[in-house]
Chains A and B, each alone.
Chain A
């Protein structure tokens, strides 16, 4: 158990809909990262928040957005869903020091868009 929790574990929805994925980082970790894993792809970085502020963006679509709340949990919002958005979505948290950069991953949310 990494200490990172994600809900829900599975999500099935229809094209055009909007969903929210939730992540709670490990106790004490200020940084949250979101990654997407599609079929045949490695994990692709989407976005990072640090202590409530957006710090970096990767290949995140404009239809996707995220935020980190004062209690440090984070939500990833996916809107106008398309079939191609079906994927595993992972969040990870880390302490963030230059000396150690390990990120600890949650169990993921499997999104299926029908």
Chain B
């Protein structure tokens, strides 16, 4: 049972345009969401996060939007740059007591930004 879904395995955009990566979740207990970027042969790198008490969070070229009623979040990258080409993972966390904040990941979307 996949609780976090990234339905687009890949996305290709032109340099300078907007990249929109989507993520859906099914577990209503998730209350914190994160995006990670991963290059080949490296570990995931944290990009941006959002708490369920917000619907938008911005950090430079990256903006994450959260629609709780639709159980959907998206990552916008504006403008897209060739160096943004990587696999992007959506992750979600549910508070389960103590200090356990394990992350549940989607399968990732490969973003290719063409010069």
A23-64 near B? 1/0 per residue, CB < 8 Å:
000000011010100001111110010100001101000000
Question: Hey, which chain B residues are within 8 Å of A30, CB to CB?
Answer: 99
**B89 touching A43 by the CB < 8 A rule?**
yes
**B103 touching A106 by the CB < 8 A rule?**
no
Size bracket of the B interface:
20 to 34
Comparing A13-21, A65-73, A74-82, A96-104, the segment that makes contact with chain B is: A96-104
Given contacts A42-B106, A42-B108, A102-B34, contact A96 B101 (CB under 8 A): yes
Chain A interface (Cβ within 8 Å of chain B)?
A: 2, 4, 6, 30-31, 33, 35, 40-45, 48, 50, 55-56, 58, 90, 92, 94, 96, 98-108
- A to B CB contacts below 8 Å, 23 in the list: A2-B45, A31-B99, A35-B103, A35-B105, A42-B107, A43-B89, A43-B91, A45-B102, A48-B102, A55-B100, A58-B102, A90-B43, A92-B103, A94-B101, A96-B101, A98-B95, A101-B101, A102-B49, A103-B101, A104-B46, A105-B36, A107-B41, A107-B42
Chain B interface (Cβ within 8 Å of chain A)?
A: 4, 32, 34, 36, 41-46, 49, 51, 89, 91, 93, 95-96, 98-108
